[in-house]
Structure 1
């Protein structure tokens, strides 16, 4: 197929670009602010030639004293791999409008929203880059776009604003959370995907993406082999009883200080006690105080961050109450962590010869990225298998291919019960059947049964999109009839559309009736409350009037018998 032309914003080390390349896309531009990540990106992707990184000192033009700020001068930005500050929309927006790519992808910085950080959200200056991504979409007007980030992004005002921008631009949106372990990577990395298609209905990508999802999660054992790790007997401390929970700390918190930050935790003990006899364990540095260190290879790896590759630490020693020695747990090497994230074994991380700017004035030359930079690149990278699945799903949509059933195209086929993943038939409300009999005048029970069968099928075809109302599903069904159900004859397609439209009409009437009943109920309650208040007021007025009459009544003095 002819490859779609893609621009990768916030490209990092190239995880998204690698996945799109495998899916047949042509990467025409990759932008990022991190020079070390750009060096890794350029060295590994064949379609982006080496040597395109700038050899002269990189001083952003708006900070230069030798010339005025550049605005929209495309001659400054011809490199395929480009060092860019995407906050400078006036420099990169015109270029994006000139390139006019078919698709723009990118993951704006997740640090403002990630649970692994302080979660400053909209108060973090980097949150503005989320809106910068949307402005680049407005400039380039691609047919498709994909924005990737952590699920916590959806709670921010920045995300709500960009969604409004996307809709104003005419994009139909697919907003969904995806787990990389279901799309070819042995890492339980949950990410939020907001994908747009110009002049399409919402939920357009779900049915295409679903076909590439595995029926089970890819595990560490699948990637690193079933012999990786250690058994429970290998890591227990001889002579110590297996306690069912971590003992409480002493008053002076002595146990908390031993071994520094790394120590056996309650979750570690629970995992060990619930393990199977055949389970094998490994060590993975956690992201929080309650996150376990002990992991089982029959599960996917936890989300890999820049700190995941750190070991137990040289100062660690088991506490007197511990019965598991964390030092005996094997830990994946950096190359194995890279494989768990979905990168190929020959991916080059240690790339020599790049320059980085410090404070935009002092240049620091480094022979290769530091280990900290490399680990952070891996933690920030989009899993290439997930990116490939997204790319293939979008390519299928662009070619109007008919989506197939789940896992028939899965890149790394899993096993499991497919029945658990099959969608259930829509349950038709009894009131709707009565409405059909009264308004559509079906003469035979067979006609009514066929109408309800058409409704269930129409609902099933659009169920994966997760739309809020039947009216939205009716708009999406037109697209499904053009693509997925194109082989059907005109009569059957018309019947499906009519069945869903009739149900939408009934649903509108039913909602209006319920709203009217609710309004009447509220009115009666209001009248009752006002009536009770009026009765109380009337009683008070009567009491005050009685008191006034009694006060105005003249005093009658009786005569004494003596008088």
Structure 2
């Protein structure tokens, strides 16, 4: 997540993880000692440091094991760290926060409690289900991304996150069949220093040469199929012309006797005939760059770190969406239902389109920011220099458009809060004879 946000344009001031091995690999690859071994469940211990850092955004991925479809789905100690994340955010009060977790977390009691904490603190929330294959990695990894901003309406960033998705999923061929970017090979005398650097990282004038396709990649493309150990009963063999399944700690493992004796009916070829994925290839499927180095005492730890990660391209895509909104370069779409709502209240279709267009213009004048309180939205519009330079009638039209949009949204909010009543047939008592 840090790598992706850095590539999007963020400055990473500090990083935390409870696992020393993960912290060591972070610092090895991203430089310095920015990452620290910290138990984020110790809220009293970490809050003073976070307050001193005064971040503009807190980003994190609380443990997913208590929610994951691969686990028992019992909300225990790890689930509590989702609530701890919410408490840290609301105590430090950055303008923005970003959280990643598995889709099942949305249905959890812990996220319901965390959500209430964040909303009570004044954060508007956008809860998006994203498919990583649409955001830069060849992996059908579906995850919950929650982005919050103080003072916003819920769903304020949903249309922008959806618009950032690629029209087609990324495939394994897209990654391993493409030309390799230029990189530099710098001989080193220490095993602690990496020798392969991407060209955009180079901070000195050195000889640069392209590195050709790796033999493992050539073999993968030639074979055309890969095996991924199914988490549950599912297809194990995938074509390189589709995304890889969700990367897990066991994604690299070869098919065992149980699967070979009872393969999935939809497997296009025998699992034993598929290409063997290397550690480097699994790492790149998860979005790590070619120059990333893994240091651990066991391969199990390496694959656990890979599987735990938020793919950097996904974090970069969402990070760019956040920065564009922060800079006023984007604005939320006006819901299509607003047009029909106006028509149902007596406006002609042309008049309704004009109001919708004016509401969009008002939001752009506000830098794309939405407001949970309509009066604050109008008051903020009044002090925008471009609005102040307008004549009276255009100003009045923009105010009216925002009022109508706020009324439409309030009605929608009310409908969502309304309790659902299920009507039951009433059984009449049997008539009694005198």
TM-score, length-normalised on structure 1?
0.58
Q: How does 1:183-262 map to 2 (within 5 A)?
A: 183-225=135-177, 229=220
**Rg comparison, structure with higher value:** 1
Tell me the equivalent position of 1:428. Answer: 340
Cα distance in 1 for partners of 2:242, 2:264 equals: 28
Q: How does 1:349-498 map to 2 (within 5 A)?
A: 349-350=294-295, 368-402=296-330, 428=340, 433=343, 435-436=345-346, 448-457=348-357, 491=393, 494-495=396-397, 498=400
Of 329, 338, 351, the match for 2:274: 329
CA change 1:505–1:136 in 2 (3 A) is closer
Tell me the equivalent position of 2:229. Answer: 285
CA change 1:45–1:230 in 2 (3 A) is closer
Deviation at 1:99, TM superposition (A): 1.7
Q: Show CA shifts across 1:358-395 (max 9, x none).
A: xxxxxxxxxx3311011011011000011111211111
Cα distance in 1 for partners of 2:310, 2:412 equals: 45
How many equivalent residue pairs? 378
CA change 1:230–1:389 in 2 (3 A) is closer
Of 305, 310, 325, the match for 2:248: 305
Q: Which runs of 5+ in 2 are unaligned?
A: 179-217, 364-370, 415-420
Cα distance in 1 for partners of 2:62, 2:409 equals: 40
Cα distance in 2 for partners of 1:154, 1:509 equals: 24
Compute the RMSD of aligned alpha carbons. 4.3
Tell me the equivalent position of 2:99. Answer: 147
Query: Does structure 2 retain, via aligned residues, the 8 Å contact 1:230–1:329?
Result: no
Cα distance in 1 for partners of 2:276, 2:147 equals: 36
CA change 1:480–1:221 in 2 (3 A) is farther
CA change 1:453–1:100 in 2 (3 A) is same
Deviation at 1:481, TM superposition (A): 7.7
Deviation at 1:424, TM superposition (A): 6.3
Query: Does structure 1 retain, via aligned residues, the 8 Å contact 2:157–2:332?
Result: no
Query: Does structure 2 retain, via aligned residues, the 8 Å contact 1:423–1:460?
Result: no
Cα distance in 1 for partners of 2:409, 2:307 equals: 47
Query: Does structure 2 retain, via aligned residues, the 8 Å contact 1:186–1:300?
Result: yes
Q: Which runs of 5+ in 1 are unaligned?
A: 1-15, 53-79, 235-279, 351-367, 406-421, 438-447, 464-470, 513-518, 544-563
Q: Show CA shifts across 1:82-127 (max 9, x none).
A: 111112112112221222211100000000000011111x2x2111
Secondary structure, aligned partner of 1:31: strand
Tell me the equivalent position of 1:515. Answer: none
Deviation at 1:128, TM superposition (A): 0.9
CA change 1:493–1:107 in 2 (3 A) is farther
Of 14, 24, 30, the match for 2:9: 24
Cα distance in 2 for partners of 1:478, 1:116 equals: 48
CA change 1:479–1:453 in 2 (3 A) is farther
Tell me the equivalent position of 2:119. Answer: 167
Which deviates further from its counterpart, 102-111 or 201-210? 201-210
Of 293, 296, 311, the match for 1:348: 293
Tell me the equivalent position of 1:363. Answer: none
1:84 correspondence with 2:38: yes
Tell me the equivalent position of 1:182. Answer: 134
1:34 correspondence with 2:19: yes
Deviation at 1:510, TM superposition (A): 12
Deviation at 1:436, TM superposition (A): 2.2
CA change 1:228–1:190 in 2 (3 A) is farther
Cα distance in 1 for partners of 2:86, 2:290 equals: 34
Cα distance in 1 for partners of 2:264, 2:105 equals: 41
Deviation at 1:30, TM superposition (A): 0.9
1:45 correspondence with 2:30: yes
